[in-house]
Structure 1
């Protein structure tokens, strides 16, 4: 189901829906697209759902990211390309339209 929703959004039929308070998109299609982005770019190392385990012990689970720092602090890094000091993490840069969708998904799975 998530892949179907993501495919529909990727085709341009739907667009992310921002909440009235300006928060990240939280509609089902946007969340499915955000999960798909996490699975494509991040799941090799990180836990990307509420219940999975990170494949690499030093890769933080995405459900715990907000306990480390505010998620909105990731906006610029996602746009310019996340670069880390450890050798196995590839540089990842998101398309402008994907950043809010990805952060909406991350917001939806936070443990706290």
Structure 2
């Protein structure tokens, strides 16, 4: 502990400053990476699901029978939805395509859907 008359050596202050800057940079990079992952998830959903399902925070689905993806997310436990997406969602009707998403695609989709659920 440093008393009122004691001084912290400059080298220690410099180390602390560098550590704080590195930690701040790492947090910013992680946040940017998460943002990119969510953006990728949104693009994947727009391409594969957006023709029938609403993929935004609000709005009705283009196909009345198709639930918005934000509602699909809350119907499943995260691990269940992850498994469903990886194995190809079991469709409720014949017109719905069965898509086997890659692990990376599933991670991106779940990141986007999680962000939607948090905004509610």
Fold shared by both chains (TM-score > 0.5): yes
Runs of 4+ in structure 1 off by over 4 angstroms are none
Query: TM-score, normalized by length of structure 2?
Result: 0.65
The structure with the largest alpha-carbon Rg is 2
RMSD (CA atoms) = 2.0
How far apart, in 2, do the equivalents of 1:66 and 1:44 lie? 17
Indicate the residue corresponding to 1:4 in structure 2: none
In the TM superposition, what is the alpha-carbon distance from 1:92 to its structure 2 partner?
Answer: 0.9
Identify unmatched segments of 5+ residues in structure 1. 1-16, 20-25
How far apart, in 2, do the equivalents of 1:31 and 1:67 lie? 17
Alignment partner of 1:44 is 2:45: no
In the TM superposition, what is the alpha-carbon distance from 1:76 to its structure 2 partner?
Answer: 1.2
How far apart, in 1, do the equivalents of 2:70 and 2:85 lie? 17
Q: Is the 1:72–1:103 Cα contact (8 Å) retained in structure 2?
A: no
In the TM superposition, what is the alpha-carbon distance from 1:66 to its structure 2 partner?
Answer: 3.8
Query: TM-score, normalized by length of structure 1?
Result: 0.69
In the TM superposition, what is the alpha-carbon distance from 1:39 to its structure 2 partner?
Answer: 0.3
Q: Is the 2:56–2:116 Cα contact (8 Å) retained in structure 1?
A: yes
Identify unmatched segments of 5+ residues in structure 2. 1-29
Alignment partner of 1:58 is 2:65: yes
